[in-house]
Chains A and B, each alone.
Chain A
Amino acid sequence: MLRNILLATSVTLSLLAAGPAFAAEKKTIAVSIPAADHGWTAGVVYHANAAAAEINAAFPDIEVVVKTSPSASSQVSAIEDLSATRQLDALVILPHTSEELTTPVAAIKDNGTFITVVDRGLSDPEIQDLYVAGDNIAVGFNTAKFLVENLGGKGNVVVLRGIPTVIDDERIKGFQDGIAGSELKVLDIQYANWNSDEAFKLMQDYLAKYPQIDAVWANDDDMLLGVLEAIKQSGREEIKYALGGNGMKEIIEKVMAGDAVTPVETPYPPSMIKTAIYLTVAHFTGHAPVRGSFKLDAPLITKDNAAEYYFPESPF
């Protein structure tokens, strides 16, 4: 045990481990997440596996099991299979959809399982013991604030939004709140489905349509990659800022390098799954109360704090 404590890297971890974990029998924590089908979910899978490996090594009394599922229905089957084959002490779940997962998760809770919900809430918030999420409104709001300040309160902005979902709506709402009261004008908002190819095309069209664009905001970094390529091709010089969101490592690298057009980034980090797993483990090992809601801030990532959000090994 002593050696394990020494191995544990973070201060928090060693504090947690010093708790009464000794006597307890082995606890099982199941982690159910969507399969990697695009950059962000790939990051979730990476961080969930990393957390499982670290915790399994640090705490012999805890076993973290990670299961990925490609769809909502297969996620339902996955958690039912998990709970049928063993006693689950905790379930950390990032649900595919709120509605479909609510009843199955409620059934698992009825067996006495501690429920941690990540990112997307269930339809009934009573079910969760712990809720961990990022702040989509802040993603839009902080980006908008940065643009208002750095463009001197006025200018023309074009926006690329993702797939029609709550996440997308919240980011756009935050952005509109952020520019309210300034003379920043949103020339256009169109969907590009969080896809770099579609963003490339949309940005080409924006450039053809508007002779003067001061800044571009793509509410996700995959789209920002397409935007940057379209700007580069056009040779247009007047665009001062092209910003994204989420914290993709390629974009964080730009921020670290002091890129003039993309000097900042806002995180909606897939590593929140790791935060959720560690907090859940604390409930069992640290005798630390964790019930409640934990909302990760989306502060501006600048050159100074970029390292905190940079995961070179992650696919995202």
Chain B
Amino acid sequence: MEDKFDCIIIGGGIAGLSAAMTLARNNAKFLLIERGEFSGAKNVSGGVLWGEGLSKLVPEYWNDEDAGFERYINHRRLTFMDGDSTFSIDFKSESFNEQPYKGIIVLRSKFDNWLSEKVMEAIEESDYADESFLAPNILVEEVLMDGGKAVGIRAGEEKFYADSIIIAEGVNNLLTRQVGLQNKYVPADALAVGVKEIIRYDQKVLEDRFQLNGLSGMSNEFIGTATQGVEGGGFLYTNKDTISFGLVLSMISLRDSGLKPYDILNEFKAHPVLKDTLKGGEVIEYSAHAVSTGDMKVMPKEIYSDGVLVAGEAANLLMNSGKAIQGMDYAMHSGILAAETIVEAKTKKDFSAGTLKNYRTKLEDSFVLKDMKNFQGAVDFLHSKQMFQTVPGLVCDFGKQFFSIKNEPTPKTREMLSKSVKKHSSYWELLKLGLKGARSL
């Protein structure tokens, strides 16, 4: 490992591994350093990897014997909650059974590990089979700079040098801050904390309860009392014989609530409707992680500089537009684009900011920054109090009237709706909310 690398990738999560795969396939010589015992050992996500991106990175991945993912999604549900009821929008489609899948549910400790094996295979087929490496269990402590240009990394006493560095260290982006692309202190305003449990069931019980068939799976998001008044929402994803169940809570709102995240999670699980859904499970892991809300104001000042690029959640590429919580697909695509930019720079023999700027251009031309820009209104909208409190209350209240048959003269639906609206809000407030929502989506 004496010679200089074309690129050093810091972090073996989805962004880093996608970059590595792209570099291997383009015959670049690289070193990927991961601080966990293996890729995925330190990583947490909800987690659905949305979109078809993986089928491009690992063609026909679904034919792999143990393909690293838990289930593919053909069933989606959005649930509004109040104290005693739930009201869901439910969509399931056979067309979602077709490959490439529209989304897969993953557990990062398994998925990232699997993806790293795929990268190893790509390295073996490259010109640098003996000179490119995935190095786990090493913590990068510093990006080495020379005259404002990133030239290598330091891990303990050891130093490694490269023409370029891709920082893919995740949301807690200490090195992005060290190289000056992000402020030293990032305030909590645009951040949330996710807390999650892995709950195990007998596989047959799980499949029957959630109407799963083969590898099909369901994603369910929750808004309303799930969060006890704290800004945020809940999630439930079906894995092979477990579910991923948890909450994403705005840090500021949580701070001001006086509630603790694990207590809110207990209340969510004890909700009268959820209690039945979760019955009989055994918690086998508890995890938590900071996550950006998708507000672009938390993004680094820039995502490239002389000799260095920032990819994935280190660049705060994440979004919850209400349709889906996206982050891993952004990580994958930004990792690929960062690596493509490095490959071009290698051809030009120029790794200066002037060349690496193309990374930003590519990202702006892609769905990642296009969507993040287009849906900033939706991000803002979802974080309004009406959306996570008023609307779920109103919807459930209406449900209670609409679905109850009392054997007495029944009011027209319009009157029921009017009653629910007046109880929780006003037509004027709802009109404003509706307009805002329509514009943002």
Partners in one complex: no
Give A residues with C-beta under 8 Å from B: none
